[in-house]
Amino acid sequence: MTVSGFTFNAFSENTYLLHDTTRQCVVVDPGCYDKDEQQALKQFIETEGLQVVLLLNTHCHIDHVFGNKFILDTYKVPFLIHEADLSTLRAVPAYAPSYGFPNYQPAEPTGFLTPGEPVRFGETELEVRFTPGHAPGHVILYHIDSKTVIGGDVLFQNSIGRTDLPGGNHATLLESIRTQLLTLPDEVTVYPGHGPATTIGAERRSNPFLR
């Protein structure tokens, strides 16, 4: 599996395209807000000859969902989140203008992610792991063969996700990290929702929040 990343919007959010040799592609957390960002994502997909087959949100805070409607309108694919984050998603239209995003367009999921039930596309299978704490319905996506995690806002390089937003809980987040991330091998790469990629081993050794 190949991970292609883009950094979008004023929050410097990381959007990921997951694709394999079949050219099928999953869009995770599309943060593209304006037309230039949307066009950059679309152009990459076209240039690489990718076929978008699925849209996923690790969680539904505003910076991770700006592009949901664009992806759905453009590619007509299923859209999945964890059901516990539905209220998080539905809350965005009420506060988006106050954050400076009056043109946010909401989108509803077509189904839900269930931890323990894999997500499949092309020749790829992703394990869905439930990781609340930053958001009540946060999940991460683990690809065993490439030792890759799409981690959303749970674990960052030398940091962790904030827990002061509605539905956040610091103790719950630390428990999610301990049981769902630190149980993975040290060589696993974590692609977070913000900032550079890291590894489980590096964060186990040096992350001050995990000591």
Tell me phi and psi for residue 100, to 5 degrees.
95, 20
**8 Å CB contact between 191 and 5:** yes
If DSSP codes are grouped into helix, strand and coil, which group holds residue 126?
strand
Tell me, what's the pLDDT at 74? 98
Tell me, what's the pLDDT at 23? 98
The boundaries of the domain holding residue 98 are 2-210
If DSSP codes are grouped into helix, strand and coil, which group holds residue 141?
strand
Tell me phi and psi for residue 205, to 5 degrees.
-80, -35
Residue 99 sits in a domain whose CATH number is 3.60.15.10
Q: What is the pLDDT along the chain (211 residues), one digit of tens a residue?
A: 999 999 999 999 999 999 999 999 999 999 999 999 999 999 999 999 999 999 999 999 999 999 999 999 999 999 999 999 999 999 999 999 999 999 999 999 999 999 999 999 999 999 999 999 999 999 999 999 999 999 999 999 999 999 999 999 999 999 999 999 999 999 999 999 999 999 999 999 999 999 8
CA 128, distance to chain mean position in Å, is: 11
Tell me phi and psi for residue 129, to 5 degrees.
-120, 130
State the alpha helices, DSSP H only, in the chain.
35-47, 62-65, 68-75, 86-95, 170-176, 200-206
Q: List, as own/partner pairs, every contact residues 177-185 make where C-beta atoms lie below 8 angstroms and the sequence separation is at least 24, other chains included.
A: 177/131, 177/133, 177/210, 180/129, 180/130, 180/131, 180/140, 181/131, 181/140, 181/149, 181/151, 181/154, 181/155, 182/210, 184/142, 184/147, 184/149, 185/147
Report how many domains make up the chain: 1
**8 Å CB contact between 171 and 192:** no
Q: What angle do CA 94, 79, 81 make, to 5 degrees?
A: 65
